[in-house]
Structure 1
Amino acid sequence: MTTRQLEQDPCGLERPGSGRLAQAPADHPPVPGKRVGVLLANLGTPDATDYWSMRRYLSEFLSDKRVVDYPGWKWQPLLQLIILSRRPFSSGKAYRGIWNREKDESPLLTITRDQARKVAEGLHGLYGDRVKVDFCMRYGNPSTDSVLRRMQAQGCERILFFPLYPQYASPTTATANDQAFRTLMRLKWQPAFRTVPAYFDHPAYLEALAASVREAYDAAVSPPEVLVASYHGVPKRYLMEGDPYHCQCQKTTRLLKERLGWDDDAIVTTFQSKFGPEEWVGPATVEHVAELARQGRRHIAVVSPAFAADCVETLEEINEEIKASFLEAGGERFTYIPCLNDRDDHIVALQAIIRNELAGWVEP
């Protein structure tokens, strides 16, 4: 994209360096200098851990048809009258155990903000002020709608939308895209829009993941006997209906194993966070780690390749509930390997993906 293209406004008037329109009539609305936007999207976070904050967040999350696709007439009475009368208490307790008290926010919000800041710093060195980076949440704040509108007001007429999920899944990637498209449907002037595809097999992502495992094993007093790659779960029905998530998770584990140079029995794939009565893809992490302990494994490590940032599913569910399941079944040492978060090699991987997806829009 040339400087002239970036400075041309839709009325055919050119901006001087100040960003004001040259030769524009007095009543012409202000038009910011053109930019390309990069919007990182993550799952979401409650604003606080009290009952009503948790209820608002859980209601938005569990009312999403991508997450729970039962008919509304059947699901909503159960959700609003029964589930949301109790679950905000238990979920609030889980969040309080991991809450960033210094900033009074969830770790997911802290980490995603740090990721966006570091990505922005790296891209600024390549593109300067031509590229604007921001972040949003599918549920809670900052909302997808508010950030997309802000980016457009800042002159982003082309936006690259990046759901931070290495493996594509309908309840994660697809619903993040859906929410962005809902905003586009309401805009008088839509920006050009691209979405980033799944990146589970991207070499830079895999190398960052492998490096995090190597570092954890090198730091351990004795190496874990098994690495459990625990992914968030989905109903088995989704796999049967064409969702590629399960297959992409299996391939991620295989590619990670190959990059580490390990034998097949050194790493296993499991799934966590089962919700509801129907059958989910498995094996279930919480059950499988207990079985490993009963088989005589005394030290295991758990990594979460489907999460780009640590959150309640990793910091509380894995590092507390799943850890307890292993130890109570006879295990002795449990190593949790943090998500890639804002590690430098992870940021490099995200920037490499973004650079590829920006091709044709803006060049370094």
Structure 2
Amino acid sequence: MTTTTTPAAPRPAGHPAIPKGRTGILLANLGTPDGHDYWSMRRYLNEFLSDRRVIDLPRWKWQPILQGIILTKRPFSSGANYKLIWNEEKNESPLMTITRAQTDALRERAEAEWGESVMVEFCMRYGNPSTHEVLDRMVKAGCRRIVFLPLYPQYAGATSATANDQLFRALMEQKWQPTVRTIDPYFDRPDYISALAGSVTRALEGKAPTKLVASYHGMPKRYLLEGDPYHCQCQKTTRLLREKLGWPEDRIDTSFQSVFGREEWLRPYTVEHVAELARQGHTDIAVISPAFAADCIETLEEINGEIREAFEHAGGKNFTYIPCLNDDPDHIEVMMNIIRENTAGWV
């Protein structure tokens, strides 16, 4: 038996062009200021710290503090920190450079596997390129189905959820919305844990630290008590990493960094913990950041600067920072596996 396909009816005169349908892969990271000058920093911090997922205080209470005190002073100090790590050659932050490299690597892999039917792009939750801008471009390019991949292994309301929020806000502006899939957190995927373990093994070759500190971005303790799973997922990532390395339980510690404000956050605080380790006689340690998919201000300046200094000031001798997975081939393979699973039936 043969079947015939009825040709599409010709479009009436003046009908808008309809691009050929494609599947989109949209990576999302936290964001970055456009520059380290005062006004670039102020715009970025204003958007970031106005997000209710990040600071959930009532607007009437928080905005006067933010606009009147924090945004008057903090752009100067944050800008100075960004300047220390800025990619002067490309005039952008390392987070932008690395996220673009990850996207380029995934685009190359996707095109080799699926051809032009797949489009790979990235956006930032805060700053540029914005989620609204990139989603609109992908829709106009024919993406009728989109896999949205926030670059956070562990789920948190202040990271994964706010990235999804912004995507859905952008979808509200589309006349013809694409079908969207958002990914599960990948904190316990075997391939992700293997990639982490591989990075530890390579970084510590020839070294013998007595402690490995897995430092995760912090959050108020109250968020945990209100049901956010982030703390538990961080703890599981550390445990699985230790098991993959075949190390004893006391060889790896979990801690939290980037504390902001007066409220109690998840403990122990990394900056205090590494100093205490030095005082206990652990003068040779390494630090890894499993919550970050790309090196950024929190790793390159905070961990390798402020936290390193706290350790050395307390008597520590050897401090090894293990870079994020960034665009390491093992990390790209993890993301490709996630993409393959979430495009099932689409490509």
Deviations 1:126-147 (A, max 9, x none): 2111111000000000000000
1:78 and 2:65 matched: yes
Alpha-carbon separation, structure 2, partners of 1:204 and 1:100: 30
Deviations 1:13-64 (A, max 9, x none): 74xxxxxxx7222301011111000000000000000000000000000000
Aligned runs of 1:91-170 on 2, under 5 Å?
91-170=78-157
SS of the aligned residue for 2:237 comes to helix
Q: Which runs of 5+ in 1 are unaligned?
A: 15-21
Displacement of 1:258 after TM fit?
0.4
Tell me the residue number matched to 1:17: none
Tell me the residue number matched to 1:315: 300
Q: Return the letter of the residue paired with 1:256.
A: L
1:292 aligned to which of 277, 280, 291: 277
Tell me the residue number matched to 2:324: 339
Equivalenced residue count is 344
Displacement of 1:330 after TM fit?
0.1
Mean Cα deviation higher: 332-341 or 183-192: 183-192
Q: Which runs of 5+ in 2 are unaligned?
A: none
Aligned runs of 1:1-364 on 2, under 5 Å?
14=8, 23-218=10-205, 220=206, 222-362=207-347
Q: Return the letter of the residue paired with 1:321.
A: E
Q: Return the letter of the residue paired with 1:244.
A: P
Deviations 1:70-94 (A, max 9, x none): 0000000000000000000000000
Q: TM-score, normalised by structure 1?
A: 0.93
8 Å Cα contact 1:13/1:24 also seen in 2: no
Alpha-carbon separation, structure 1, partners of 2:229 and 2:263: 19
Tell me the residue number matched to 1:19: none
Alpha-carbon separation, structure 2, partners of 1:25 and 1:169: 49
SS of the aligned residue for 1:186 comes to coil
SS of the aligned residue for 1:28 comes to coil
Alpha-carbon separation, structure 2, partners of 1:258 and 1:122: 31
Identity value in percent:
65
Displacement of 1:223 after TM fit?
1.2
Alpha-carbon separation, structure 2, partners of 1:128 and 1:299: 48
8 Å Cα contact 1:232/1:306 also seen in 2: yes
SS of the aligned residue for 2:77 comes to helix
CA RMSD, Structure 1 to Structure 2 (Å): 1.3
Tell me the residue number matched to 1:18: none
